[in-house]
Chains A and B, each alone.
Chain A
Amino acid sequence: MKEKKAKAPSLGRAMLYVILIAAAFLTLYPFLWMVAASFKPLKEIVGGNMSLISPNMSLDNYTYILGRSSMFTRWFFNSLFVSVIGTTLNVFINTMAGYSLSRLHFPGRDKIHHFLLVLMMVPGQVLLIPNYLILQNLGMLDSYTALIIPSAANIGNIFLMRQFFVNFPKEVEEAASIDGLGRYSRFFRISMPLARPTIATQAIFVFMGFWNSFTGPMLYIKSEAKYTLTLGLQSFQSQNAGTMWNQVMAAACISVLPIIIIYLIFNKFFMVGVRMDGEK
């Protein structure tokens, strides 16, 4: 690490802590409320009690939303299904494309590269209407396919993988080719496993994108049984606005939990990913 002044004057130091703690408090406060409210009975939440802990806390809200009378469990598995399949497809499609653009030589490669750079500039909002009509014509509306296929490739991640293979020593593959492995087995058995850290970064962000996406499910999904968690949460809230905060908060807690667990386990990959974005 670089050298910086080891000890600033203690007043300045105290100021820094004040800023950090205030910011941490402001960041955590809404989450703490969400967690606290998810264990409380509704009466207490709307009653204006400001303490986070209360003697009346129970698992009732969770029992209700996970129970048979609610669709919540179904929505959770819909989200899981779409996110897992979508992430798997992205990993293979983006890695193969990135490999092709960096390792293989063929006419038109640079043109395709530039074409992708141009496509990356297109703002997502402009695509909603045409994609709705395209999916309608393909007969895919109101299906999981509509949520997975349009997002099954990602240009940013193709370039991430391309960058990895550009810097990855060719000799490893050449040695394998002398051993008689063909291109395909070399790619799937050697190059891809060696790209694991970069693939993990990609996979985490893609998974999070699928898990948290709202606009797509909102436009393409009509039947309640096919809702994802984000969409279910919104419908839950709009049906119960102002009345069932306790259950809504329990649902929100469960929806946030998987990503937070992934974050705590794979912390280092998150920083790499953001760094890549930040540094372009």
Chain B
Amino acid sequence: MPATTKSAQRQRKYTKSNYQEFRQGYLFLTPAIIILGIFIAAAVLFVVYLSFHKVNLFTGEYTFVGLDNYTRLLGDGMARTALKNTLSFAVIVVPIQTILAMIIASVLDSKIKGRYLFRTIYFLPTLTSSSALTIIFMFMFSVTGPVNNILIRMGFLETGINFLNDPSFALKVIMVMNIWSTIPQYTTMYLASLQDLPGSMYEAASIDGADSIRKFIYITVPYLKPITTYVLLTGIIGTLQMFDQAYIFSNGSGGPANSTLTVSLLVYRYAFGTQNAMGYAAAIAILLAVIIMIVSFTSEKLNASESDY
């Protein structure tokens, strides 16, 4: 059936006004297609092409090197450090931001006085640029800054810790900052979903004698499962690509002692730093993109198979 209707449609003669509509349709799409075509579609093809070449930025020379850029990765200690930093960043940041966002959202969802004020306050970090945020946090954690002062006053420390220049602390400061600044976004997503949770579910649970914590664990958390998948996915994609905060924090170096070197920062340094290794940087960027896309596909598949029940 559908096949015959389709061919019938195809054989149908288009009228003049049909052609006019085609023209309008393409015309309205043209600006978007040109921009997305050049800066996304062509750019993807170009980066794949680059990854098989050695690029000399100064002479504009491209030499084909086959898979060299990819095999070079295997023996690259810097790449291993960057991958380790990025993965530990994702593994620590993503669960914490997800859990905290879920808790805050479910508290905000209860009929509590002043929840609109709280909601407005919580949203503030989302509005702030990564450069302003990073600078505020660098100030907070500087040797003479508020965090050190609090710790000294409470008697935990004798003198201030140099959080920013100590390799064992630097990445942790960025983690704290990242968690702090991403929670609001995920809280809002959870809140939107909680609006649709039928209140009768809670009532039934109260009649059965469940307290708030049990209600949270047995009703809220399972109900939010689909949105949690989405939050986790967004969190993983975001943390794996983390760049701005690490760049500003270390002024582009990934220091101290490569402790804040993320994969994206490494790509930047190889491509635009003194190494002038754009082809190699392109190969690393592609591998990162492939990892991200695999994560997205897997979690979407998992989510789809679960909602079949």
Instruction: Report which A residues bind B (CB closer than 8 A).
Output: 2-6, 8, 12-13, 15-17, 19-20, 23-24, 26-28, 30-31, 33-34, 37, 45-48, 50, 92-94, 96-97, 99-101, 104-107, 109, 112, 115-116, 119, 121-134, 149-150, 152-153, 155, 158, 183-184, 187, 208, 211-215, 218-219, 229-231, 233-234, 237-238, 241-242, 245, 248-249, 252, 255-256, 259-260, 263-264, 267, 270-271, 274-275, 277-280
B247 within 8 A of A: yes
Residues B36 and A256 in contact, CB atoms below 8 Å apart: no
> Is A33 touching B146 in the complex (CB atoms < 8 A)?
yes
A93 to chain B, nearest CB (A): 5
Tell me the smallest distance from the CB of A150 to a CB of chain B, in Å.
4
A252 and B293 contact, Cβ closer than 8 Å, known pairs A99-B28, A125-B267:
no
Chain B: minimal CB distance from A162 (Å)? 11
Question: Is A122 touching B44 in the complex (CB atoms < 8 A)?
Answer: yes
Contact A252 B203 (CB under 8 A): no
| Contact yes or no, A153 B36, CB < 8 A | yes
Least Cβ–Cβ distance between B294 and chain A, in angstroms? 11
Specify which chain B residues have a CB less than 8 angstroms from the CB of A275 in the assembled complex: 188-189, 192
Are the C-beta atoms of B39 and A134 separated by less than 8 Å?
yes
> How many chain B residues have a CB neighbour from A under 8 Å?
101
Residue of A nearest to B43 (CB): A130
Contact B131 A233 (CB under 8 A): yes
Question: Which of B118, B120, B135, B193 has the most chain A CB atoms closer than 10 A to its own CB?
Answer: B135
Select from chain A the residue with minimum beta-carbon distance to B198: A2
From A47, A100, A112, A119, name the one whose CB has the most chain B CB atoms within 10 angstroms.
A100
The answer to whether A4 and B202 have CB atoms under 8 Å apart is yes
Q: For the complex, what is the distance from the CA of A271 to the CA of B119, rounded to whole Å?
A: 10
Closest 7 CB pairs of A and B: A278-B189, A212-B129, A106-B25, A100-B28, A104-B25, A97-B32, A130-B43
Whether the pair B103, A230 counts as a contact (CB closer than 8 A) is no
Query: By the criterion CB–CB under 8 Å, are A96 and B267 in contact?
Result: no
A244 to B: closest C-beta gap in Å? 11
Question: CB distance B129 to A5 under 8 Å?
Answer: no
The residue from B153, B237, B288 contacting A50, defined by CB atoms under 8 A apart: B153
Query: B199, A125: Cβ atoms under 8 Å?
Result: no
Measured in the bound complex, the distance between the Cα atoms of B101 and A274 in whole Å is 14
Known: A27-B122, A280-B230. 8 other contacts (CB 8 A): A5-B203, A19-B107, A101-B29, A104-B28, A119-B41, A126-B47, A187-B28, A278-B230
Q: A263 — which chain B residues lie within 8 A by C-beta?
A: 123, 127
CA distance A124 to B227 in the complex (A): 23
Q: Which of A100, A230, A249, A279 is the one whose CB lies under 8 Å from B29?
A: A100
* Contact indicator B247/A27 (Cβ below 8 Å): no
Bound Cα distance A33, B139 (Å): 9
CB distance from A87 to the nearest CB of B (A): 15
Please state if B188 and A271 are interface contacts (CB–CB under 8 Å): yes
Q: Is the CB of B268 within 8 A of A214?
A: no
Q: Nearest Cβ in chain B — how far from A238, in angstroms?
A: 5
Give the CA-CA distance A144 to B222 in the complex, in Å: 48
Contacts of A128 in B (CB 8 A): 267-268, 271, 285
B200 CB–A CB distance under 8 Å: yes
**CB distance B47 to A26 under 8 Å?**
no
Interface string of B246-285 (1 = CB under 8 A from A): 0110010000000000001001100110000010011001
